[in-house]
Amino acid sequence: MLKLDKVSKTYKTGDKALHHACFEVPAGQVVGLIGPSGAGKSTLIRCINRLVEPSSGSIQLGDTELTGLNRRELRRARRRIGMIFQEYALVERLTVMENVLSGRLGYLPAWRSYFRKFTGDDIAQAFSLLDKVGLADYADKRADALSGGQRQRVGIARALEQNPELLLVDEPTASLDPKTSRQIMRLIRSACQERNLPAIINIHDVLLAQQFSDRIIGLRAGEIVFDGPPDALTDDVLTTIYGDEDWTQLRGENGSGDQGEDASGVDLMESA
C-alpha cells in the first residue's frame, strides 16, 4: 500500500532530520510512530505528502511514485492522503461545515469552491461524517467556537471527507486531556478498521501508541531504531529510542487498566 525506500531529509540548515527510512505499510494497518522530540517524526510524515520535500529516496502510494511528481500530479496525489494535525489546524473563522468540505477542494474547480458550490454527494458525506464524530448539530458553528476535542473531531471528519487511501496523523492528542485523547484515538482507530485504511500516527504518548496501534516504529535522531508489534516494546527498546530512564513505572501502570493509566505521572505529563 505505502512503501518507503531509503527516504532521507536534510534541511537547508544542514540538519539531518531523516536518514534512510525504509518500511512498508499494508492496507488497514495502524502504525504508531514514536520517538523523542526532534527525532524526525513530523518530518517523516510530512515527506509522504511532500509538505516537506524529501532529499532522496522513494515513496510509493499504491502504484504512484510520490517523489518527482509535478505540482499538478502532486495535488492529485494529496487528495488520496488525509492528514490530521496537532492543534487541529482548522481554519478558525470558517464554519465547521466549510472545514469538513475543504476535504473535497482537490476535486473541485476553484470557482465552484469560491462560491461554496460543493456537489450533493460531498455535502451528504460531510453531514454523515459530522454525525459519526458526534457533531451533527455543529455544522454551522464557527470552528473557533468549539472545544479542543470537538475541533479534533472536525479535523478527523475533514481528513475522512477526502475518502483517503492513507491517513497521516501528526500528534493528534498533544493538546488534549487523557480522556479526550483516548476518545480521539479510538475514533481514528475505528475509522481505519471500517475503511481498511492504513494510518501512520506520530505520537508522544507511548501508552496510547501501544494501546491503539498494530505496529510501532521507533525513531531516534532521524533513524528507525525499532519496528515491531506493540508488545515487543520492552524497557531496553524504550531506552534505545529515548535514552536512559527508569521505565518500570510506565510498565507497572500499563497492566492495570484505564484508571491506572490516567494516574500515571508520565502519561499525564505527555498529554497535558
Partner 1 sequence: MPGKSTAHTYPRHWKRPPLLLTHPFWRKVILLGGLVYLILAIQTIEVDWQRVYLGLERGWRFVQGFLVPDFTSRWNDIYAGLLESLTMTVTSTVAGILVSVPIGIGAARNLAPAPVYLACRGIITVSRSFQEVIIAILLVAMFGFGPFAGFLTLAFATIGFLSKLLAEEIEDCDRSQIEAVRATGASWWQVVNYAVQPQVMPRLVGLSLYRFDINFRESAVIGIVGAGGIGATLNTAIDRYEYDSAGAVLIIIIAIVLVVEYSSSYIRRWVQ
Shortest gap between Cβ of 154 and partner 1 (angstroms)?
11
Shortest gap between Cβ of 49 and partner 1 (angstroms)?
6
Binding of partner 1 at residue 81 (CB under 8 A)? yes
Q: Which is nearer to partner 1, 157 or 224 (CB)?
A: 157
Applying CB under 8 A, which of residues 15, 24, 65, 87 lies at the interface with partner 1? Answer: 87
> Considering CB under 8 A, how many residues would be counted as binding partner 1?
32
List b or e across 230-241, with b for residues whose CB sees 16 or more CB atoms inside 10 angstroms: eeebeeebbeeb
Binding of partner 1 at residue 79 (CB under 8 A)? yes
Q: Which is nearer to partner 1, 105 or 266 (CB)?
A: 105
Alpha helices (runs of H) in 96-205, residue ranges in sequence order: 96-101, 110-114, 120-132, 148-161, 178-195
Q: Which is nearer to partner 1, 82 or 218 (CB)?
A: 82
Give the single-character DSSP code of 116.
T
- Bridge partners of 10, per DSSP, are 16
Q: Which is nearer to partner 1, 19 or 41 (CB)?
A: 41
Binding of partner 1 at residue 152 (CB under 8 A)? no
Residue written as cell 530512564?
245
Shortest gap between Cβ of 52 and partner 1 (angstroms)?
10
243 C-beta neighbours (distance < 10 Å), count: 9
Residue 224 and residue 22: Cα distance in Å, rounded? 8
Residue 137 and residue 131: Cα distance in Å, rounded? 8
Binding positions for partner 1, rule: CB under 8 A: 49, 51, 75-79, 81, 83, 85-87, 89-94, 98, 102-108, 110, 113-114, 155, 158, 162
